[in-house]
């Protein structure tokens, strides 16, 4: 393969398309659409970041300013954890708008993360969800196919292909050269949005706090480049193989429909049927049933907690819990919290595992479907995938557990055993203890973790890129000059 | 009387050619010159049908060979085998001693091809088309060199920078010739190049072919134009149902005789 020939052919593709005013219009419209998506996504991101920052401060301030009171009352007063947006989330919204943003954290109870954008919006979200990622993954391929479908087929129909081949151009050179030209056209849409995206990223103060945003952006660019290259070569291959340019267009549109609309939906349904997940009510009931089996910390006659009591009385050689050197009900609650949190975690882990299995069915279709690979990878790198959300849930639950146990420890340590109710004067501790609890800070997944989660998508893109060279070499054997 | 004589001449002639073809199809060839286009037992079958049946043909450098025959006689198949666009079912085609099937890219260096209608990029000018195709063949020419190739091929100077979309068929044919000249092709394959050209354009075309041949280019031309073939070619072959049935020295036959022979053969 000669570089000079590749350059000549790709340049010819570029110049002949650019001469056409409809091409310029399309490039302009796509760039406009992308800029709009990037700016509106960015505005929304900044808005969210400011909201989270503002309310996080307020939650903390209110927590620290609670008056002196019984620590368990504080445990029920609770805390609110807010989900932070990853600085790149303006590029690809992913699941961001459909998962909750805030969760109320209190003792004994694992609440659902609430207030997703979708649950709060009036339906306009259906129109508003145009992210740069979506345009690049879904619409740009359509444009690549539209530009590329006739690039070989038309020359064959027209007769220039025969002269081209007689001039000593090999099929490999022709296909790769045309693909590179088509790829360059795709870049005329991708590159400006990358530049704008990068500028927006630099301007975001949260990006400098999370330097991995830049590294993630770099890999995001590489992934999209691979995706567009794969699609360009595929379009040209189909054009070269097809009997006519018309049939090439039909096949490509068919592929597009199948791979972007049908296959993802079908694989999703298959995943859900192969690995059924419980509904929210079912899940809560299961957790509760297991908790009841284990014991009820609020019931003094519960066998589990009675055994605990008896062993404590023997160990401290006393005949009543009132004579223990620490607050007994705090001790029981600490034990109860530990049990319930473990049970919840176990169930939650199982649920997440089921979700993971469902998603893996979809993920594995990436080996058939490069769209799936880029979709998952783009979401993961933008920090808007399910793993990022799940990680937030785990962090919030860990914090909740820590909060409840910190309050229990305070109760065990500072509250006397003789107090009757939490309203009792002796049952109140100083508000200065409240600040012992560290603030909640949502941390983002590490880059390595993201790569681990998306290893299938990454391998699939690499396999596709390398596989194309084999595919080109294989299919040229049966190509026709006329 | 005259007519009988002619018929007698014709039969004598026919007998001679058939004998020649069987014993040695190259009997009219100047064996001192280098073989440029060579087909050896070249066969192409589509299912049951033989499009080309064991064709043996050698064309020297500087020689013009015209292939006559009805549509479907195998003329275009022969050309496509030399171009490497068709894989022969048997036998081989070689150009300048290099097998087409084994070295398709190597053989294309020696080749130029002018189809019935030379198709070019309509948005580019004649000179831009020539530049593009020459660069693909590995040549880089200056603008004035490209222009001189076009002039040599007979394209008027005013048309060089006009869009090919507005060219007549004859003008595009000339750009095709210019591509061949610019490539310094040793062998030229022509598939009914003059069909649809007006007599003047057709005549100019013949002139250019003769010039190219004088400079050593071997020319294989499939055509329906018996008179043009007689005028421009050194040898003329007539094909029927995939077989090369006669090969005649163009000097030894008049156009009328050739037409008769053609009609009797096919």
Q: Judge residue B226's burial from the number of C-beta atoms within 10 Å of its C-beta, 0-12 exposed, 13-18 middle, 19 or more buried.
A: buried
Mean residue pLDDT of chain B comes to 85
* Partner residue opposite A170 with nearest CB, options B105, B112, B133: B105
Chain B contact present for A462, CB below 8 A: no
Percent above pLDDT 70 for chain B: 88
What local confidence, expressed as pLDDT, does residue A316 receive? 77
Domain ranges of chain B: 2-101+226-265
| A343 or B183, which is more confident | B183
- Beta carbons of A152 and A178 less than 8 angstroms apart: yes
Length of chain A equals: 482
In whole angstroms, give the CA distance from residue B203 to residue B206: 5
What ipTM was predicted for this assembly? 0.85
Residue B176 with chain A: CB contacts under 8 Å: 163
Residue B179 with chain A: CB contacts under 8 Å: 163, 167
Coil/strand/helix, residue A246: helix
Give chain B's radius of gyration (CA, Å). Answer: 19
One DSSP character per residue, A271-339 reads: HHHHS----HHHHHHHHHHHHHHH--TT-TT-HHHHHHHHHHHHHHT-SSGGGSSS-HHHHHHHHHHHH
pLDDT tens sequence across A52-63 = 888 888 888 888
Give the gap in angstroms from C-alpha B210 to the nearest C-alpha of chain A.
22
What local confidence, expressed as pLDDT, does residue B126 receive? 94
Residue B253 has pLDDT above 70, yes or no: yes
State the pLDDT confidence band at B193, using cuts at 50, 70 and 90. Answer: confident
- Tens of each residue's pLDDT in chain A, 482 residues: 789 999 999 999 999 899 889 999 999 999 999 999 999 889 888 888 888 888 888 888 888 888 888 878 888 888 888 888 899 989 998 888 788 888 888 877 777 777 776 666 666 555 557 889 999 999 999 999 999 999 999 999 988 999 999 999 999 999 999 999 999 999 999 999 999 999 999 988 888 888 899 999 999 999 999 999 999 999 999 999 999 999 999 999 999 999 998 998 999 899 889 888 888 888 888 888 887 777 766 666 777 777 877 887 788 787 777 777 777 777 777 877 888 888 888 888 888 888 888 888 888 888 889 999 999 999 999 999 888 888 998 898 888 888 888 888 888 777 777 766 666 677 777 778 788 788 888 888 888 999 998 999 999 999 999 999 898 888 888 788 87
Q: Which residues does residue A81 pair with via DSSP β-bridges, in sequence order?
A: A103
Chain B contact present for A160, CB below 8 A: yes
Give the gap in angstroms from C-alpha B17 to the nearest C-alpha of chain A.
34
A12/B85 Cβ within 8 A? no
What local confidence, expressed as pLDDT, does residue A255 receive? 93
pLDDT tens sequence across B168-182 = 988 998 999 999 999
In whole angstroms, give the CA distance from residue B220 to residue A153: 28
State the pLDDT confidence band at B9, using cuts at 50, 70 and 90. Answer: very low
B109/A163 Cβ within 8 A? no
A162/B83 Cβ within 8 A? yes
From chain B, which residues contact A within 8 Å (Cβ)? 83, 85, 105, 108-109, 111-113, 115, 117-121, 123-124, 132-138, 176, 179, 183
pLDDT tens sequence across B124-174 = 999 999 999 999 999 999 999 999 999 988 899 999 999 999 999 889 989
CA angle A61, A62, A66 (to 5 degrees): 120
What local confidence, expressed as pLDDT, does residue A298 receive? 65
Give the gap in angstroms from C-alpha B194 to the nearest C-alpha of chain A.
17
What local confidence, expressed as pLDDT, does residue A415 receive? 76
Most confidently modeled range among A176-190, A262-276, B10-24, B222-236: A176-190
Residue of B nearest to A161 (CA): B119
Positive or negative torsion for Cα A41, A45, A51, A52: positive
Coil/strand/helix, residue B92: strand
Q: Which residues does residue B221 pair with via DSSP β-bridges, in sequence order?
A: B66, B190
CATH for the stretch B2-101+226-265:
3.40.50.300
A166/B111 Cβ within 8 A? yes
């Amino acid at each position: 393969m000669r570089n000079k020939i590749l350059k000549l052919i790709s340049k010819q593709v570029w110049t002949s398309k650019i001469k056409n005013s409809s091409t310029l219009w399309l490039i302009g419209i796509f760039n406009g659409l992308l800029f709009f998506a990037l700016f509106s996504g960015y505005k929304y991101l900044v808005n969210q970041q400011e909201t989270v920052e503002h309310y996080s401060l307020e939650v903390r301030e209110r927590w620290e300013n609670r008056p002196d009171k019984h620590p368990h009352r504080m445990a029920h007063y609770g805390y609110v954890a807010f989900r932070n947006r990853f600085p790149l989330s303006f590029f690809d919204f992913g699941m961001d708008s459909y998962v909750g943003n805030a969760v109320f954290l209190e003792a004994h109870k694992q609440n659902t993360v609430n207030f997703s954008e979708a649950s709060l919006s009036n339906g306009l979200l259906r129109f508003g969800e145009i992210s740069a990622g979506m345009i690049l993954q879904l619409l740009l391929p359509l444009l690549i196919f539209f530009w590329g479908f006739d690039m070989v087929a038309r020359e064959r129909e027209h007769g220039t292909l025969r002269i081209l081949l007689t001039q000593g151009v090999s099929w490999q050179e022709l296909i790769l050269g045309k693909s590179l030209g088509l790829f360059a056209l795709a870049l005329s849409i991708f590159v400006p949005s990358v530049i704008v995206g990068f500028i927006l990223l630099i301007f975001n103060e949260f990006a400098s706090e999370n330097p991995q945003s830049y590294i993630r952006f770099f890999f995001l660019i590489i992934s999209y480049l691979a995706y567009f290259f794969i699609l360009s070569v595929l379009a040209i291959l189909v054009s070269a193989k097809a009997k006519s340019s018309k049939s090439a267009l039909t096949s490509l549109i068919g592929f597009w429909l199948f791979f972007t609309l049908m296959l993802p939906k079908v694989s999703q349904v298959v995943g859900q049927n192969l690995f059924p997940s419980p509904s929210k009510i079912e899940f809560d009931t299961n957790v509760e049933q297991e908790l009841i089996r284990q014991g009820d910390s609020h019931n003094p006659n519960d066998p589990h907690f009675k055994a605990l009591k008896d062993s404590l009385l023997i160990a401290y050689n006393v005949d009543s819990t009132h004579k223990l050197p620490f607050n007994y009900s705090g001790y029981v609650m600490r034990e109860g919290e530990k049990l319930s949190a473990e049970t919840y975690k176990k169930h939650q882990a199982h649920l997440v595992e089921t979700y993971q299995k469902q998603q893996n069915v979809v993920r594995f279709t990436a080996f058939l479907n490069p769209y799936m690979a880029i979709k998952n990878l783009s979401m993961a790198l933008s920090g808007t995938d399910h793993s990022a959300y799940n990680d937030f849930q785990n962090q919030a639950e860990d914090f909740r557990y820590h909060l409840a146990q910190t309050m229990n420890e305070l109760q065990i340590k500072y509250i006397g055993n003789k107090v009757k109710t939490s309203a009792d004067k002796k049952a109140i501790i100083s508000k200065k203890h409240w600040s012992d609890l560290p603030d909640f800070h949502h941390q983002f997944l590490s880059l390595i973790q993201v790569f681990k989660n998306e290893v299938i998508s990454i391998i699939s893109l690499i396999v596709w890129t390398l596989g194309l060279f084999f595919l080109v070499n294989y299919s040229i054997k049966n190509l026709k000059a006329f | 009387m005259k007519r009988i004589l002619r018929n007698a001449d014709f039969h004598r002639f026919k007998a001679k050619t058939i004998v020649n073809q069987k014993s040695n199809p190259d009997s009219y060839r100047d064996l001192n010159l280098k073989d440029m286009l060579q087909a050896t037992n070249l066969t192409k079958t589509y299912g049951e049908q033989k499009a080309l049946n064991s064709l043996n043909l050698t064309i020297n450098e500087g020689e013009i060979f015209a292939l006559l025959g009805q549509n479907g006689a195998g003329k275009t198949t022969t050309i496509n085998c030399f171009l490497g666009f068709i894989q022969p079912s048997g036998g081989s085609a070689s150009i300048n001693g290099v097998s087409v099937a084994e070295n398709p890219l190597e053989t294309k260096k020696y080749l130029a091809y002018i189809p019935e209608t030379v198709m070019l990029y309509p948005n580019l000018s004649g000179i831009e088309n020539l530049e593009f195709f020459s660069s693909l063949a590995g040549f880089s020419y200056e603008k004035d060199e490209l222009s001189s190739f076009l002039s040599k091929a007979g394209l008027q100077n005013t048309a060089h920078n006009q869009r090919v979309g507005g060219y007549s068929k004859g003008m595009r044919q000339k750009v095709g010739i210019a591509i061949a000249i610019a490539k310094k092709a040793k062998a030229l394959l022509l598939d009914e190049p003059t069909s649809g050209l007006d007599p003047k354009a057709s005549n100019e075309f013949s002139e250019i072919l003769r010039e190219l041949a004088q400079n050593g280019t071997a020319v294989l031309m499939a055509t329906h134009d018996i008179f043009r073939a007689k005028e421009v070619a050194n040898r003329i072959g007539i094909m029927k149902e995939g077989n090369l049935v006669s090969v005649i020295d163009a000097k030894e036959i008049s156009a009328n005789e050739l037409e008769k022979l053609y009609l009797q053969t096919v």
